[in-house]
Amino acid sequence: MEVIREWAGKDRLFQLRTGEVLDLEQGCDAGIGVIYARLIAGQFWARDVMNALRLGLIGGGMDKLQAKALVDAHFGRIPMIESAALAAEIVIAVMTGVEPSEGSDEGEPADRLLFSDLGQISRVFNLSPVDLRQMPFADLLNLMRGYSAAGAAGRAPSEAEFEDMLAAYYAKEDAK
């Protein structure tokens, strides 16, 4: 999910794809859920805010060096609460872009997604690590859910089955 907001003097595009989420977790020494909770509760660290802004700019298409320079130059000039509110909005866009698993509405635990399956998923779907890092986080989770639902011995759908899946998906999207 993208966020377009005015920051540092002009409208900017912010987006956290899978790679940026992983980098954010590493840079903040916490999982995305903890970072989300800290930002929402106002218990954030400055590095939560700075990293979310910098990585959001990178995910939005800005060069890494430009993004770092922009955050370094403007972070102290903009009130912390304004930057924190934007950082929270960027992280919320990632968190709300992920649909709950089936069964989670009924209080049942959702099937676990094993990140150890990523290597196999990469081979099955012919995706490089770069492709996975650039993928929106919600799409990665949905890909993993589909892979897990099919099981390791799952077969690829036929062309007709795939067309039916697409038709069902678009019907669901149009109903929204």
**Each residue's pLDDT tens digit, 90-143:** 999 888 765 554 544 444 444 555 555 666 777 777 887 778 778 887 777 778
* pLDDT value, residue 117: 64
pLDDT over 90 (residue 76) = no
Percent of the chain residues past pLDDT 70, beyond the cut:
82
* pLDDT value, residue 164: 84
Average pLDDT over residues 19-32: 91
* pLDDT value, residue 129: 74
pLDDT over 90 (residue 24) = yes
* pLDDT value, residue 110: 47
Instruction: Residue 152: count other Cβ atoms within 10 Å of its Cβ.
Output: 9
pLDDT over 90 (residue 153) = no
Structural domain spans, the chain: 2-96, 112-175
Q: Which of 31-35, 54-58, 104-108, 131-135 bottoms out in mean pLDDT, i.e. has the lowest?
A: 104-108
State the Cα–Cα distance between residues 117 and 145, nearest whole angstrom. Answer: 11
Average pLDDT over residues 145-174: 75
State the Cα–Cα distance between residues 157 and 102, nearest whole angstrom. Answer: 21
pLDDT over 60 (residue 154) = no
Average pLDDT over residues 50-57: 96
**Nearest of 36, 74, 34 to residue 54 by alpha carbon:** 74
pLDDT over 60 (residue 40) = yes
Q: Which of 69-83, 101-115, 155-169 bottoms out in mean pLDDT, i.e. has the lowest?
A: 101-115
Percent of the chain residues past pLDDT 90, beyond the cut:
38
Instruction: Residue 106: count other Cβ atoms within 10 Å of its Cβ.
Output: 6
DSSP lists the bridge partners of residue 2 as 15
